[in-house]
Amino acid sequence: MHKKGPQINHLSYADDLVLFNSGDKYSIKLIMKLLNKYQLASGQEVNRDKSFFLTHHKTDNLLNRRIKRWTGFTQSSFPFNYLGCPIYTGAKKICYFSDISKKILNKIAGWQGRLLSSGGKAVIIKHILQSQTLHIFASLMPPSTVIKEIEMQFANFFWGQRDGKNSYHWASWKNMCFPTKEGGLGFKSLIDICHTFSAKSEAQAALIGISWCLGQQFEALDVELDSQVVVRMINESCKPSWRIHNLIEDIKNKIAQRNIIVKHCYREGNEVADALAQYATTIQEPIIYFQESKLPAEVRGLLRMNKLHLPSFRRRPKKASFWHYDPP
């Protein structure tokens, strides 16, 4: 692996295997040799029709042809779908998630012409259509435009069509997502589902950190989270979702044992934690820092800025302007 890149050489899920390599001939030949030994020992074979390799978009074409000759695999490019989730580089784009909308439209098209009552449509939306989106929402959060489009498809299906046109919507989708006791139909808001999955990761990280601090016999502790939803759940300002109810209860029980304060910290002010997380991708063994002087130079500088109460800003690259003016 390259020294400046993440020290991850493989990922595996079920019977799929992802291998990371720097692209040199010796490493690729060694990988192919080990794969051949595995095939001889196990009797299984690598499916070359489904296997492919990916390189950076600026990689020289000559190297791509050599890798193709050494491995016998075809070359692919980003983005591509794996287990229904788009794998891409760079910023999120709406076109990467177009397959989700198409699958839901195909499902709806099969039921659109049937005589279904409002209750039957509600059951289909709750238990079939919305469940198709849970897998991808658990992995990543699509752009808000995609989520609104999917919810619009749900609403159009529920209210039906007349003379080839969508019928009038007598209630907004937001109001239909309220519980039945509050006048809604009990649908789940897809945006709330995405926030719940992201809150679950934040709650798990908080629980691990608090448990470790209690194991070190810390008497006082300030916990800063950049998820305001999780902070409100822990401080009992709102009720937690059933998906993370047990996590929140575990955190509350541990907080009651010590003088622990949980508060919200905006992501722009959480640069120290972000820098440590990025540094963690470059090392292979876990490190625990007890002294400021032992921290990496970049992290140490950000920590000193926080102690001086200097403001932090979110930096965004300036978009190129394509406006052109020709003077008369």
pLDDT tens track, the chain, 328 positions = 556 656 667 788 777 888 888 888 888 899 899 889 989 998 888 888 889 999 888 889 999 999 999 988 999 988 888 877 888 888 888 888 888 888 888 888 877 666 788 888 888 888 888 888 777 777 778 888 888 888 898 888 888 888 778 888 888 888 888 888 888 888 888 887 777 777 777 888 888 888 888 888 888 888 888 778 788 888 887 777 776 888 889 989 888 888 888 888 776 667 787 788 777 767 777 788 888 888 888 888 888 887 777 766 555 555 444 444 454 5
From its phi and psi, is residue 203 left (phi > 0), alpha (psi between -120 and 50) or beta? alpha
H or E element at residue 232 = helix 228-234
Q: Look at the chain and count its residues.
A: 328
> DSSP label at 317?
P
**What's the confidence (pLDDT) of residue 291?**
84
Q: How many CB atoms lie within 10 A of CB 70?
A: 14
CATH 3.30.420.10 domain residues, the chain: 197-307
3 state SS of 135? helix
SS3 87: strand
Beta strands at 52-53 and 74-75: parallel, antiparallel or unpaired: parallel
Task: Fold for 197-307, please state it.
Answer: Nucleotidyltransferase; domain 5 (3.30.420)
Separation CA 224–CA 266 (nearest Å): 9
d(C-alpha 159, C-alpha 112), whole Å: 11
Amino acid occupying residue 27? S
The CA-based diameter of the chain, rounded to the nearest angstrom, is 77
| pLDDT confidence of residue 319 | 47
188-240 per-position pLDDT tens digit: 888 877 777 777 778 888 888 888 888 888 888 888 887 787 888 888 877 77
Q: 């934690």: which residue's tokens?
A: 273
Number of Cβ within 10 Å of residue 36's Cβ equals 11
pTM above 0.85, yes or no: no
Tokens 């908080």 locate to 206
